[in-house]
Every structure is written in structure tokens, then in C-alpha cells.
Structure 1
């Protein structure tokens, strides 16, 4: 073959090669224009998130959902967040009673029942059906108990207790009210309220406040409409019988100096009753000054229950006088012997001489043994104030 015959063949080969290359390029161009996949638009609460061709759901517990665009993987990641409450369902009747359960991702609430409400009775009388039960009153104590609220009703029971007035039943009530000056009520460590009724008892006398004797000076058990005076005998212990009609708390003990001497001291006190004689010492109140005239008193806080007692008086001065009851116009709690046979009986006041040391050293306990009855004008000179 000569060169002229080879040239057309070479040209044909080149044309074929170019056609093959063009065909391959056309195929590649067709692949480039073909869509790779279907893309979706993703929204959260009507807000666009992303447009991707894939959806990845990540398993979780809860209601709320978070989203993350993942273009590298051509998708959007949706995550269910654990323990985030969703909006309260409409079937819940009371939002205040609803509670979100993080373990199940659900609301716990009072839902509309299919068979009506439970019925609450008050003393066997049905009340109007409600979705809320309210505990009220001082006897109700409610506290959180981990997974519930526990209410304790103090003093609950069937019916009321019956209160009687002198064996006559009163109308039953839920409240018991104590009134009067003789009643003292106080909280007892948060468990109960304790009321103390002074002078209370079966058939007992009413408190002094109800007798009109509130905060008054008296010689208990005595009555007189006239007073006299008597000279103080130095070193004599004088015992005066008294009678307390009802339990009484006394806040003062004292005497009255009719004329002073410029000096002198008296000690006052109270003794228990021992078969008509002064017994053990109940109260050594201290001393008062006798140098000037007027009322002489000592602050005390002594409760005497109903019964007999002796008050005591001993001094170290002989020229002062004290005010006493007039023996000719008095009514004493007890009667005794007269200082002289044939004279009018007077109240028994006992004395012991030679006891000046008790003024500074304190009253004897038990009382010094009385020697005899005192003179009538010594009928009473120590006063008490309730």
C-alpha cells in the first residue's frame, strides 16, 4: 500500500474515535442534569427547619422534639427529649392537681370520669360533687409524703362528745369555750391546748373574780367592820388562823403600821394547818420595815388550796403599833378560848415569846410550839392580797 491509499483510512479511524468520545461526553452530561433524590421541607411548630432528602428519627422518651440539620448526611435529626412536659391534655379537669411523670413521659391528673364523681357525705348527708376536696380547721395537718399528700385530722371520730352542766346534757358542738378569770389555757407542745380552771371542782365555790374579790386585800376567813391598834411585843411570834374558801393565788402579804418608832423590822410568813396548830413552814416571805407608818407589803406568788392555814408575824421592836381587827365587831374563821375565864370568847391567836432571832434568821420550820392564846387585840394583823 502506498501512502496515498493509507491517508483516507487514518482519517476514518480518527472520526470514529471522535464520535465515541462525543457519545461518552453526552452520556455524562445527561447524568449531571438528572436529580439525585426527592427533597423534603421540614418544619417545627410551623417554623421551617431545613430541606433535605432524608429523615433520621432518634429513639427517646418524652414529648418535646429537638431538630438538628445534618447536611453532610443529607438529613435532619429529630430527637425526643426525656422528661420535658408537653401541654396539659384537655381531659385533665384541674391543672393544680396535675403532675408530670418523668419516668413515663405522661401527665398524671384527674380526668373526666365516665361514671360521675365520688360522693362525699357530711354526717350521712351527701354533698355536691366536686373535683377538689378541701380540708379545713385547726385539727387538720397536711404534709408532702414523697409521692402523695397526707392529711391527719386530729380528734376525728364519729359524732361529738356530750358536755353536761350539773348532769344536764348541753347541745353538742365542735367548739368548747372556757371563760372567766379563773381559766388559764396554754399550748401543750403543739399536741393539745390545756386549760386550768382555778378553784374548779364538783359543787365548789366560784373563783374569787366571780365573787367580786378581784385584787383585794383580806384576812381570809375573817370579817370585821371596825379596826383597832395594838402595840408590837418584841420577839413574840404570833400565829393567826385563816380559812381559804377556794383555791387562790396570793401576790402580796403585808401589815399596816399605825404608828412608827423610827426603827424596827417584822418577818411575815404562812404555815400549814396541823390539827388546829401551826405545822410545817409553807412560806417565809421576808421582812418589812416598821419604822414608818403605812401599808407594808412583800411581793409573793403563793397558791393556797381550799382549807385552813396560819399566818405568822414576828418583830424586833416594841414601841410601834400595828392595825388589827376590833375584837368587838368581827367574825373569825375559828373560835378559841378567852385570855381570862368569864370574858367574851375571842379568836384563837397563838404566840411564842423569845423568838427575836427569827426576824434576822428566818422563820422556824416546823413552827415553834405555841405557849398560849394571845390577847384579843392580836386577833389578826397579817393581810393577803389575791
Structure 2
């Protein structure tokens, strides 16, 4: 089969598109998916660079531009090494074409989204014994992908496969962040990085919950982000957190941040007493300085959001089917142009998500 194979840690040259990769066979409790499309995400770049290693101190974009590569022994999200070759891609959209022993064969032919967290079947609620699609197991930058049957979610919605491929990673990350902080109607939320895949999902999912949303993005992206339902859009720049508070008419109940970097301390200042800060990324940098007095004197709560329980993905699929969140496709690339897709992603001039059209019939989509 055709696949983009990651051969080691490093630059885009470590991704090699091949047409002689064996098609995996589903084992007991597994299914085989014919992949139509697969989204591009930060985790693809982070894993390729070994950015999750604590030896890397710069943000994702800076590390990618400078060729900074993390040490091997803690290069993955879970703090372990990565085995090669590996097929990346967490945002799988496709159809079930084969099932293993013990799997309901009514799944055959169904169009599905795939929950990317690979859990312990004996304790699926555990955050310890888990892997991620495209990191600990081969993912969707290939014509076929093998996953546990428990991870596939049939979808019946009037969206094409390119559009569906924008949801699994970014959408579930956003749904998890909002679930962790318990965002409800009438609350206010700031989204510092509102234009990427996770950010556009946060804006829509927060709005669907009835929250007041203040989104932050670059000036050229403001109209597109506003069209997603943000109540206010603040242009990124100096004193951005203070300007967001002013736009909101006061401090926030929640800040949902995937940017990190130098502005983290000011976003904590932007929270009400008892407010909640949740993070699931550090595009601008992972090492920050925080005044602990702001944290404890204001009774703030801080949350990390990475491994989520199965109901989070099920809730996302319900949101997709209900139309609470719509796809935002920034661009489409054929599998053979995955280098260009990642370069465009790293440039951060887009709104939404880039998608790899694994099925050549979809590659003409613009």
C-alpha cells in the first residue's frame, strides 16, 4: 500500500512516501480501515522532531524552523522513545473494509471516525497504559490503518471525507479541554490561539455550550474566526490578555490555551477568582514563568488535557452529527505532498486544518 513512512527523528526528509508497505491485517478485536483522508496536526510535527522531549525548550514553530531535534529516550508524548519505521496520522476518516475475530461484521462498509487514544481494553478509563495513533501504533497517512474496533465510531452526516478528517485529533482535544474545566452556559472563556484546528474547535464547542467566547488570533484571520461564532475577536499583539479582558467586560471564568509561551502569566491574571486555566499545547514555548501568588491567592485551578476517557470522543461525534461543530478546511494535499502540507502547517498562516487526501480521488479538492 501507499504510505508516508517516518524513518527517524528530524526534518521533513525523514518522511518517505512509499508504495510497497504491507497492508496490515486486523487481529482479534480489531478492524481494518480504508483511509480516505487524514488531518495534519501539531502532534505529527512534534513527534517527528522529538519535540516532546524535555531537552527541547523552544516552541513547535521555532524548533521546526531551526531544525531542533529532541533526544531519543523521551521523544514521545508519553516520555518514552519512538520505534521506526512509523506511519503517523491521528485524524483518520474512512470505511471499515475488514474485521478481526470477535468483531461485529455489521461494521463492514461503515464510514467511521477513529478515536486516536489506544487504551487498555481491561481498563479503558486508565490514563497510564495508553498509546496514540501515529505514535505508538501506525496511523492514517496510509491507504489502510488497523485499529481496535472499540475506537471506531460510525458517522452518518452530510460531510465529505476531507471534512470529516478535521475532527478526530483537534476536535477531541478541544472537547476534552472544555470537559475538564466543566464549561457551561453563561460562563466566559478566552481562547488565545483561536485560528488553528484546536482553536477553531474550541470556539465552536464553547459557543455550542452557551458560553461567551473571546477569541484571539492574527489580524488577517479575524473575520474567519468571528464567523465561527466568537462573541469578540481580539487581534494578537502587546497586552493581548488585558485587551481580551476589556473586550469581555471583565475577567474570564476559563482560559483554554494551546499557545503557551510568554503570555501564560498574563492569561492567569485575566481569570476571575476561582477561574480555570486549561492547556493542551505550547506552540509558542513550553517553559514559562508563573507567579504562584497569582495562582493561590486567587484560588485558580490549572488543568492539563491530554489523555481523555472514551465518552469524550463519543460526545464529539454527537456534536459533529448535531452540527454543533463544522469543519474548517484550510487546504488539501495528496499523500505525495505531505512535506508541503507540513510546511504550510508550520507557517501558521492558515485558519482551520490541513488534510491529506489519501484517496487520490479526493486530491483535487481545494
Scaled by the length of structure 1, the TM-score of the pair is: 0.19
Structure holding more helix per residue: 2
Q: Which has the higher contact order (CA 8 A, sep 6+)?
A: 2
Please identify which structure carries the higher strand content.
1
User: Greater Rg, structure 1 or structure 2?
Assistant: 1
